[in-house]
Amino acid sequence: RYFDSYGDKLAPMSEEQRNLLCDPQTSGGLLIAVEPESAAELEELLSREGLYAQPIGELLPRQEHATAWVEVV
């Protein structure tokens, strides 16, 4: 439903990637961004609270002539 509002900011992707990205079962997921040097500390903190964390990517500087803001790999 909301894909139309931000889909133009995504790099081309397969139908399978789009289905995974837009799966309503995962729309309540939580993303947390931390500096790379703090990742282990955050994972340990979450683990102590019984929460599972999995790094899924990294933020990179936007390329000057990039047409997409997000690339799903």
Residue 21 in tokens: 């990205």
Phi, psi of 70 (to 5 degrees): -130, 135
Query: Does residue 50 register a pLDDT over 80?
Result: yes
Residue 6 in tokens: 């931000």
pLDDT at 26: 60
Q: Please enumerate in sequence order all residues whose Cβ is within 8 A of that of 39, keeping only pairs 6 or more positions apart, or say none.
A: 55
pTM for this entry: 0.51
pLDDT (average), residues 2-10: 72
Query: Does residue 52 register a pLDDT over 90?
Result: no
Query: Does residue 2 register a pLDDT over 70?
Result: no
Angle ∠(34,63,66) on CA atoms, nearest 5: 115
d(CA 54, CA 36) in angstroms, rounded, equals 13
